[in-house]
Amino acid sequence: MKTSIYTLLIIVTLTSTAAAQSRKDKLEVGVQATSLSLFDPDFPGDVTHAGAGGRVTYNINRSIAAEAEINFLAQKAFILRSDGHAIQAQFGVKAGKRFEKFGLFAKVRPGFLSVNRVFSLEPGPGVVINGIPTFIPKIERETFFTIDVGGVLELYPSKRTVVRFDAGDTLVRHPDRFDIVFGLPPTVQLARAAKFTNNFQFTAGVSFRLDDFPAEEGDARTSGDAREETPRYEVGVQFTSMSVEPPATACVFCATLNDDFIHTEPGFGGRFTFNLTDNIAFEGEGNYFTRDRPGFPDPAGHMFQAQFGGKVGKRFERWGLFGKARPGFVGFTKVTEVTGTRVVTLGSTSFVVPDFREGKAFYPSLDLGGVVEFYISRRWMARFDVGDTIIRYGELRTVGFVMSMPIAVRPAETHHNFQFGSGIGFRF
């Protein structure tokens, strides 16, 4: 053990010395937000987890880099048979081409996903009690092997600042799964052998270079271009994720069916901005969320969103900081609503029966938060949004569960929902 520690210390010391002596060895440290959509290894469906983390990159040269990344995913990972939180770590390389204002890379990074409070079931140690074989249920931290494969887009607002977008497939290896087979006697049997699943992951962040890359022939980069007048119009695309706190379920016995599980929904959209001045802008944004949630509880289906409002702040040479307030609406494609009632007579007994429909519903929303912008050039920019999307769910009347109370009513509710967005814009 001591020999391994001493060897590791020697490697770290030699690497640090080489990095200090070589002008081309560059170090980057950064922070990021991430969205990981985990697909169930046994059944159709997926759950998205939002997280945050950090990254260290060691640039071997302008085309190849080694890096390590760690993310904390705060939501409970139900797909992994867990009610705990997860920590993700990836270690590997990226390789590609770095241009004056941007870079394109491919990445391959093995790693792990460490999840707290994972439930598993294993056969017992051959002990039989009253003719029934024993089994061992466990709830403990479990580590899943992962491989992150994908692409990286980097934008360079300045010599030391890097804006980065990652998109790819995070493969997760799920171990053997054992289930109880009820019979006489009950047994524990292998239900599924170990397998990999494909899981989409998107990450956006900002990092800082501890040193500059040596200029290559043809590079026109200087210490900073004088900022010209801000273009009036911007169009952009973005990836977004909203952690949705759903309203209570409309039902007769609501005390046991309130859905307080916060679920994160990934989406994408576009934005148009009119810069009235350097400090004030008006804009409209629309997003479509990709997951089709099941029809119970309401609201369900695909989410969609539109916000219209202003942002106010300060624009500097390479970046800008703003506050935003944007009213709008959030909609759902599957909401069941009662449209009326009618009386149905069976023999001598009459019942009030609701007429209902399933369709789209729109709820007022207000997007409050902050915006950080990075100006890659006069025409191109990157943008990060963080805020609270407040949704006002109106009263919902839907079908009840007993004949004597055919209509269930949920009163109006207001919920706060954390939302993060990142994207690229073109200014003209």
Are 325 and 194 in the same domain? Answer: no
Across residues 114-137, what is the average pLDDT? 68
pLDDT for residue 249 is more than 80: no
Q: Place 222 in a pLDDT band, splitting at 50, 70 and 90.
A: very low
Are 30 and 150 in the same domain? Answer: yes
Q: How far is C-alpha 390 from the geometric centre of its chain's CA atoms?
A: 19
Are 190 and 242 in the same domain? Answer: no
Per the listing, tokens 């706060």 go with 416
Are 162 and 96 in the same domain? Answer: yes
- Asked if the structure places residue 312 within a domain, the reply is yes
pLDDT tens digits for range 66-96: 999 999 998 776 677 777 789 999 999 999 9
Tell me, what CATH number does 402's domain have?
2.40.160.20
pLDDT for residue 157 is more than 80: yes
Q: Which of 37, 106, 121, 134 is nearest to 77 (CA)?
A: 37
Are 253 and 125 in the same domain? Answer: no
- Asked if the structure places residue 6 within a domain, the reply is no
Are 39 and 158 in the same domain? Answer: yes
- Asked if the structure places residue 110 within a domain, the reply is yes
Are 50 and 199 in the same domain? Answer: yes
Domain region containing 159 = 24-209
- Asked if the structure places residue 228 within a domain, the reply is no
Are 376 and 263 in the same domain? Answer: yes
Predicted local confidence at residue 204, as pLDDT: 97
- Asked if the structure places residue 11 within a domain, the reply is no
Tokens of 149: 């494969």
Scored b (16 or more CB within 10 A) or e, 104-131 reads ebebebebbbbbbbbebeeeeeeeeeee
Domain C-terminal end among 141, 174, 209: 209
Per the listing, tokens 């010391």 go with 13
Domain C-terminal end among 147, 174, 209: 209
- Asked if the structure places residue 220 within a domain, the reply is no
Across residues 98-121, what is the average pLDDT? 92
Tally of domains within the chain: 2
